[in-house]
Amino acid sequence: MPELPEVETIKRGLEKCIVGRKINSVHILCEKSFRGKPELIEGQVISRIDRRGKALLIRLENNLTIMVHLRMTGQMIHDGLERFAAGHPDESFHEKMPGRFTRVYVDLDDGTHLFFNDMRKFGFWSVMDDLDLASDKFLTKLGAEPWDMKAEDFWGMLQKHSNSPVKAAILDQHNIAGVGNIYADEGCFYAGILPWRKCGDMDREESDKLLEGLCKVMQASIDSGGSTMKDYVKADGTRGNYLEKFAQVFRREGCECPRCGSEILKTRTAGRGTHYCKGCQK
DNA sequence: CTAGGATCCTGTCAGC
DNA sequence: TGCTGACAGGATCCTA
Protein backbone atom coordinates (compact mmCIF):
# COMPACT_ATOMS: atom_id res chain seq x y z
CA MET A 1 0.00 0.00 0.00
CA PRO A 2 1.86 2.54 1.27
CA GLU A 3 4.19 3.63 -1.47
CA LEU A 4 6.46 6.67 -1.47
CA PRO A 5 3.66 9.30 -1.59
CA GLU A 6 1.74 7.69 1.25
CA VAL A 7 4.84 7.46 3.44
CA GLU A 8 5.67 11.09 2.62
CA THR A 9 2.12 12.01 3.62
CA ILE A 10 2.60 10.21 6.93
CA LYS A 11 5.92 11.99 7.46
CA ARG A 12 4.34 15.40 6.91
CA GLY A 13 1.33 14.61 9.07
CA LEU A 14 3.35 13.25 11.97
CA GLU A 15 5.76 16.19 11.85
CA LYS A 16 2.85 18.35 12.92
CA CYS A 17 1.58 16.16 15.75
CA ILE A 18 4.35 14.07 17.33
CA VAL A 19 7.65 15.97 16.90
CA GLY A 20 8.70 17.37 20.28
CA ARG A 21 6.56 14.84 22.16
CA LYS A 22 8.05 12.38 24.63
CA ILE A 23 7.32 8.65 24.40
CA ASN A 24 6.09 7.61 27.84
CA SER A 25 5.54 3.92 27.18
CA VAL A 26 5.48 1.33 24.41
CA HIS A 27 2.83 -1.35 23.95
CA ILE A 28 3.68 -4.35 21.75
CA LEU A 29 0.58 -6.35 20.87
CA CYS A 30 2.34 -8.51 18.28
CA GLU A 31 5.98 -9.51 18.88
CA LYS A 32 6.66 -9.95 15.16
CA SER A 33 5.82 -6.29 14.53
CA PHE A 34 8.56 -4.85 16.76
CA ARG A 35 12.32 -5.36 16.48
CA GLY A 36 14.80 -4.15 19.07
CA LYS A 37 14.43 -3.10 22.69
CA PRO A 38 11.33 -1.05 23.48
CA GLU A 39 12.84 0.25 26.75
CA LEU A 40 15.44 2.16 24.71
CA ILE A 41 12.78 4.48 23.30
CA GLU A 42 10.74 4.97 26.47
CA GLY A 43 11.30 8.40 27.98
CA GLN A 44 12.78 9.69 24.71
CA VAL A 45 11.69 12.83 22.85
CA ILE A 46 10.92 12.62 19.13
CA SER A 47 13.24 15.11 17.43
CA ARG A 48 12.37 14.79 13.75
CA ILE A 49 10.90 12.55 11.07
CA ASP A 50 12.61 11.53 7.83
CA ARG A 51 11.75 9.26 4.92
CA ARG A 52 13.86 7.11 2.57
CA GLY A 53 11.88 5.38 -0.16
CA LYS A 54 8.99 3.66 1.62
CA ALA A 55 10.79 3.65 4.99
CA LEU A 56 9.75 6.12 7.69
CA LEU A 57 12.50 7.19 10.09
CA ILE A 58 11.43 8.55 13.47
CA ARG A 59 14.46 10.20 15.08
CA LEU A 60 14.85 10.40 18.85
CA GLU A 61 16.93 12.73 21.01
CA ASN A 62 19.15 9.87 22.22
CA ASN A 63 20.27 9.36 18.59
CA LEU A 64 18.20 6.23 18.11
CA THR A 65 15.87 5.85 15.15
CA ILE A 66 12.62 3.96 14.87
CA MET A 67 12.51 2.68 11.31
CA VAL A 68 8.98 1.89 10.22
CA HIS A 69 8.14 -0.33 7.24
CA LEU A 70 4.43 -0.34 6.46
CA ARG A 71 4.71 -3.01 3.76
CA MET A 72 1.31 -4.03 2.40
CA THR A 73 -1.22 -3.06 5.04
CA GLY A 74 0.50 -0.79 7.55
CA GLN A 75 -1.16 2.33 8.92
CA MET A 76 -0.04 5.08 11.29
CA ILE A 77 -2.75 6.73 13.33
CA HIS A 78 -2.48 9.59 15.82
CA ASP A 79 -5.44 10.34 18.08
CA GLY A 80 -4.93 14.05 18.62
CA LEU A 81 -7.66 16.69 18.61
CA GLU A 82 -8.15 15.75 14.97
CA ARG A 83 -7.38 12.14 14.16
CA PHE A 84 -4.55 11.75 11.66
CA ALA A 85 -4.55 8.42 9.83
CA ALA A 86 -2.58 7.44 6.76
CA GLY A 87 -1.21 4.36 5.08
CA HIS A 88 -3.25 1.42 3.84
CA PRO A 89 -6.67 2.99 3.28
CA ASP A 90 -9.49 0.96 4.77
CA GLU A 91 -12.29 1.31 7.26
CA SER A 92 -10.07 0.60 10.25
CA PHE A 93 -8.90 4.23 9.91
CA HIS A 94 -12.11 5.12 11.67
CA GLU A 95 -12.28 2.42 14.33
CA LYS A 96 -11.64 2.83 18.02
CA MET A 97 -7.94 2.49 18.88
CA PRO A 98 -6.28 0.24 19.78
CA GLY A 99 -8.23 -1.87 17.28
CA ARG A 100 -8.17 -5.46 16.15
CA PHE A 101 -5.25 -4.78 13.77
CA THR A 102 -3.21 -2.60 16.14
CA ARG A 103 0.21 -4.26 16.53
CA VAL A 104 2.19 -1.55 18.35
CA TYR A 105 1.31 1.75 20.00
CA VAL A 106 3.00 4.35 22.17
CA ASP A 107 1.67 6.73 24.81
CA LEU A 108 2.89 10.30 24.34
CA ASP A 109 3.40 12.91 27.05
CA ASP A 110 0.44 15.04 25.95
CA GLY A 111 -2.02 12.21 26.50
CA THR A 112 -2.25 11.25 22.80
CA HIS A 113 -1.11 8.00 21.22
CA LEU A 114 0.54 6.83 18.04
CA PHE A 115 -0.87 3.54 16.72
CA PHE A 116 0.66 1.14 14.21
CA ASN A 117 -2.02 -1.01 12.57
CA ASP A 118 -1.08 -3.80 10.17
CA MET A 119 -3.59 -6.47 9.22
CA ARG A 120 -1.16 -8.79 7.46
CA LYS A 121 1.76 -8.33 9.88
CA PHE A 122 4.32 -7.82 7.11
CA GLY A 123 5.32 -4.41 8.43
CA PHE A 124 7.31 -3.62 11.56
CA TRP A 125 8.98 -1.04 13.76
CA SER A 126 12.69 -1.42 14.34
CA VAL A 127 14.75 0.41 16.97
CA MET A 128 18.14 1.16 15.46
CA ASP A 129 21.32 3.03 16.36
CA ASP A 130 23.68 4.64 13.84
CA LEU A 131 25.61 1.42 13.31
CA ASP A 132 22.43 -0.52 12.63
CA LEU A 133 21.33 2.11 10.12
CA ALA A 134 24.70 2.15 8.38
CA SER A 135 24.64 -1.62 7.91
CA ASP A 136 20.94 -2.08 7.18
CA LYS A 137 20.51 -4.08 3.96
CA PHE A 138 17.34 -2.33 2.88
CA LEU A 139 18.61 1.21 3.46
CA THR A 140 22.12 0.73 2.11
CA LYS A 141 20.99 -0.97 -1.10
CA LEU A 142 18.04 1.31 -1.74
CA GLY A 143 18.07 3.15 -5.08
CA ALA A 144 17.87 6.93 -5.48
CA GLU A 145 14.73 8.93 -4.73
CA PRO A 146 12.93 9.39 -8.09
CA TRP A 147 13.50 13.15 -8.29
CA ASP A 148 17.18 12.74 -7.36
CA MET A 149 17.75 10.24 -10.15
CA LYS A 150 19.45 11.49 -13.30
CA ALA A 151 17.83 10.51 -16.60
CA GLU A 152 21.20 9.12 -17.65
CA ASP A 153 21.34 6.79 -14.63
CA PHE A 154 17.75 5.65 -15.13
CA TRP A 155 18.61 4.80 -18.73
CA GLY A 156 21.71 2.91 -17.55
CA MET A 157 19.58 0.95 -15.07
CA LEU A 158 17.25 -0.13 -17.89
CA GLN A 159 20.22 -1.34 -19.94
CA LYS A 160 21.46 -3.35 -16.97
CA HIS A 161 18.09 -5.10 -16.70
CA SER A 162 17.53 -5.40 -20.43
CA ASN A 163 15.85 -8.80 -20.11
CA SER A 164 13.33 -7.77 -17.42
CA PRO A 165 9.91 -6.27 -17.94
CA VAL A 166 9.99 -2.53 -17.36
CA LYS A 167 7.53 -2.86 -14.51
CA ALA A 168 9.71 -5.39 -12.66
CA ALA A 169 12.70 -3.04 -12.95
CA ILE A 170 10.94 0.00 -11.50
CA LEU A 171 9.33 -2.03 -8.70
CA ASP A 172 12.76 -3.22 -7.54
CA GLN A 173 13.76 -0.92 -4.68
CA HIS A 174 17.45 -1.42 -5.48
CA ASN A 175 16.93 0.33 -8.81
CA ILE A 176 14.78 3.29 -7.79
CA ALA A 177 13.26 4.03 -4.38
CA GLY A 178 9.60 4.20 -3.50
CA VAL A 179 7.77 2.89 -6.57
CA GLY A 180 5.02 0.36 -5.84
CA ASN A 181 2.30 -1.26 -7.87
CA ILE A 182 0.07 1.81 -8.26
CA TYR A 183 2.72 4.24 -9.39
CA ALA A 184 4.43 1.65 -11.58
CA ASP A 185 1.19 1.30 -13.56
CA GLU A 186 0.48 5.03 -13.51
CA GLY A 187 4.02 5.89 -14.59
CA CYS A 188 3.86 3.45 -17.51
CA PHE A 189 0.51 4.93 -18.54
CA TYR A 190 1.94 8.46 -18.41
CA ALA A 191 4.82 7.39 -20.66
CA GLY A 192 2.56 5.40 -23.03
CA ILE A 193 4.56 2.23 -22.37
CA LEU A 194 3.18 -1.29 -21.88
CA PRO A 195 4.46 -2.51 -18.48
CA TRP A 196 5.72 -5.88 -19.77
CA ARG A 197 7.98 -4.36 -22.45
CA LYS A 198 11.57 -5.52 -21.98
CA CYS A 199 13.83 -2.80 -20.61
CA GLY A 200 16.22 -3.52 -23.46
CA ASP A 201 13.56 -2.68 -26.05
CA MET A 202 13.06 0.84 -24.76
CA ASP A 203 14.64 3.84 -26.44
CA ARG A 204 16.16 6.79 -24.63
CA GLU A 205 13.14 9.00 -25.20
CA GLU A 206 10.83 6.41 -23.61
CA SER A 207 13.23 5.99 -20.70
CA ASP A 208 13.23 9.73 -20.01
CA LYS A 209 9.46 9.90 -20.29
CA LEU A 210 9.01 7.02 -17.85
CA LEU A 211 11.21 8.61 -15.20
CA GLU A 212 9.37 11.90 -15.72
CA GLY A 213 6.06 10.06 -15.36
CA LEU A 214 7.05 8.36 -12.12
CA CYS A 215 8.11 11.71 -10.64
CA LYS A 216 4.96 13.47 -11.81
CA VAL A 217 2.41 10.91 -10.63
CA MET A 218 4.05 10.56 -7.24
CA GLN A 219 4.37 14.32 -6.79
CA ALA A 220 0.70 14.74 -7.77
CA SER A 221 -0.29 12.17 -5.17
CA ILE A 222 1.74 13.89 -2.45
CA ASP A 223 0.20 17.24 -3.43
CA SER A 224 -3.30 15.79 -3.14
CA GLY A 225 -2.61 14.68 0.42
CA GLY A 226 -1.88 11.02 -0.20
CA SER A 227 -4.29 8.87 1.73
CA THR A 228 -5.21 10.88 4.81
CA MET A 229 -8.64 9.94 6.05
CA LYS A 230 -10.40 13.28 6.24
CA ASP A 231 -9.57 14.93 2.95
CA TYR A 232 -11.92 13.39 0.47
CA VAL A 233 -15.69 13.39 0.55
CA LYS A 234 -17.52 13.03 -2.75
CA ALA A 235 -20.26 15.41 -3.88
CA ASP A 236 -22.96 12.97 -2.77
CA GLY A 237 -21.51 12.95 0.72
CA THR A 238 -20.04 9.46 0.58
CA ARG A 239 -16.40 8.95 1.23
CA GLY A 240 -14.31 8.36 -1.86
CA ASN A 241 -11.36 6.09 -2.38
CA TYR A 242 -8.41 8.44 -2.60
CA LEU A 243 -7.30 6.63 -5.74
CA GLU A 244 -10.27 8.15 -7.53
CA LYS A 245 -8.61 11.53 -7.26
CA PHE A 246 -5.72 10.83 -9.55
CA ALA A 247 -5.47 7.21 -10.75
CA GLN A 248 -5.84 6.98 -14.53
CA VAL A 249 -5.58 3.19 -14.87
CA PHE A 250 -5.03 1.60 -11.47
CA ARG A 251 -8.08 -0.50 -10.53
CA ARG A 252 -9.99 1.03 -13.42
CA GLU A 253 -10.28 -2.05 -15.58
CA GLY A 254 -13.42 -1.84 -17.73
CA CYS A 255 -13.40 1.98 -17.65
CA GLU A 256 -12.67 4.31 -20.56
CA CYS A 257 -9.13 5.59 -20.91
CA PRO A 258 -9.14 9.30 -20.00
CA ARG A 259 -6.62 9.97 -22.76
CA CYS A 260 -7.83 7.99 -25.79
CA GLY A 261 -11.18 6.49 -24.81
CA SER A 262 -10.10 2.86 -25.29
CA GLU A 263 -10.83 0.29 -22.64
CA ILE A 264 -8.60 -0.08 -19.57
CA LEU A 265 -7.61 -3.72 -19.11
CA LYS A 266 -6.08 -5.74 -16.30
CA THR A 267 -3.49 -8.50 -16.61
CA ARG A 268 -0.53 -9.87 -14.68
CA THR A 269 3.07 -8.70 -15.00
CA ALA A 270 6.03 -9.27 -12.70
CA GLY A 271 3.70 -11.32 -10.50
CA ARG A 272 1.44 -8.32 -9.84
CA GLY A 273 -1.95 -7.12 -11.01
CA THR A 274 -1.24 -4.73 -13.87
CA HIS A 275 -3.56 -2.12 -15.38
CA TYR A 276 -3.08 -0.51 -18.78
CA CYS A 277 -4.82 1.11 -21.71
CA LYS A 278 -4.93 -1.09 -24.78
CA GLY A 279 -5.18 1.95 -27.03
CA CYS A 280 -2.41 4.34 -26.08
CA GLN A 281 0.28 2.26 -24.38
CA LYS A 282 2.72 0.66 -26.82
C1' DC B 1 25.36 -11.41 -11.54
C1' DT B 2 20.13 -11.57 -13.21
C1' DA B 3 15.31 -13.34 -13.33
C1' DG B 4 11.43 -15.74 -11.58
C1' DG B 5 8.84 -18.01 -8.09
C1' DA B 6 7.60 -19.13 -3.26
C1' DT B 7 6.86 -17.16 1.04
C1' DC B 8 5.52 -14.39 5.24
C1' DC B 9 0.11 -13.23 7.20
C1' DT B 10 -4.88 -12.20 7.35
C1' DG B 11 -9.08 -10.83 5.22
C1' DT B 12 -12.33 -10.46 1.35
C1' DC B 13 -14.66 -11.84 -2.57
C1' DA B 14 -16.26 -14.86 -6.41
C1' DG B 15 -17.88 -19.32 -7.52
C1' DC B 16 -19.74 -23.63 -6.44
C1' DT C 1 -24.80 -20.97 4.53
C1' DG C 2 -20.19 -23.10 4.07
C1' DC C 3 -16.25 -24.26 1.67
C1' DT C 4 -12.34 -23.32 -1.64
C1' DG C 5 -9.15 -20.86 -4.22
C1' DA C 6 -7.47 -16.48 -5.96
C1' DC C 7 -5.94 -12.28 -4.85
C1' DA C 8 -4.14 -8.20 -2.22
C1' DG C 9 -0.65 -0.77 -3.38
C1' DG C 10 5.81 -5.24 -0.29
C1' DA C 11 10.18 -7.20 0.18
C1' DT C 12 13.13 -11.20 1.01
C1' DC C 13 14.91 -15.60 0.28
C1' DC C 14 15.84 -19.45 -2.61
C1' DT C 15 16.71 -21.60 -7.00
C1' DA C 16 18.22 -21.96 -11.80
**For A144 and C15, how far is CA from C1' in angstroms?**
29
Instruction: Tell which residue, A250, A277, A282, has the closest CA to residue A5.
Output: A250
Any strand B atom closer than 7 Å to A120 CB: yes
**For A89 and B12, how far is CA from C1' in angstroms?**
15
Three-class HEC string of chain A: CCCHHHHHHHHHHHHHHCCCCEEEEEEECCHHHEECCHHHCCCCEEEEEEEECCEEEEEECCCCEEEEECCCCEEEEEECCCEEEEECCCHHHHCCCCCCCEEEEEEECCCCEEEEEECCCCCEEEEECHHHHHHCHHHHHCCCCHHHCCHHHHHHHHHHCCCCEHHHHHHCCCCCCCCCHHHHHHHHHHHCCCCCCEHHHCCHHHHHHHHHHHHHHHHHHHHCCCCCCCCCECCCCCECCHHHHCCCCCCCCCCECCCCCCEEEEEEECCEEEEEECCCCC
Share of chain A above pLDDT 70, in %: 93
How crowded is residue A1: how many other Cβ atoms within 10 Å of its Cβ? Answer: 20
Q: How much is the mean pLDDT over chain A?
A: 92
What residues in chain A have per-residue pLDDT under 70? 1, 226-242
Rounded-to-integer distance, Cα A5 and Cα A169, Å: 19
**For A203 and B2, how far is CA from C1' in angstroms?**
21
Any strand C atom closer than 7 Å to A161 CB: no
Which pLDDT value is given to residue A6?
Answer: 92
Which pLDDT value is given to residue A114?
Answer: 98
Pair A21, A45: CB distance under 8 Å:
yes
Which pLDDT value is given to residue A235?
Answer: 45
Q: Is A54 a catalytic residue?
A: yes
Any strand C atom closer than 7 Å to A186 CB: no
Rounded-to-integer distance, Cα A155 and Cα A43, Å: 47
Q: CA end-to-end span of chain A, whole Å?
A: 27
Over the stretch A154-184, which tens digit does the pLDDT of each residue have? Answer: 999 999 999 999 999 999 999 999 999 999 9
Subset of residues 196-235 in chain A with CB less than 7 angstroms from any atom in strand C? 227
Share of chain A above pLDDT 90, in %: 86
Pairing relationship of beta strands A124-128 and A34-35 according to DSSP bridges: parallel
Pair A36, A128: CB distance under 8 Å:
yes
Residue A246: exposure state from Cβ atoms within 10 A (0-12, 13-18, ≥19): middle
Which pLDDT value is given to residue A135?
Answer: 95
Over the stretch A41-67, which tens digit does the pLDDT of each residue have? Answer: 999 999 999 999 999 999 999 999 999
**A66 phi and psi, to 5 degrees?**
-95, 110
Subset of residues 32-61 in chain A with CB less than 7 angstroms from any atom in strand B? 32
Pair A74, A88: CB distance under 8 Å:
yes
Which pLDDT value is given to residue A233?
Answer: 45
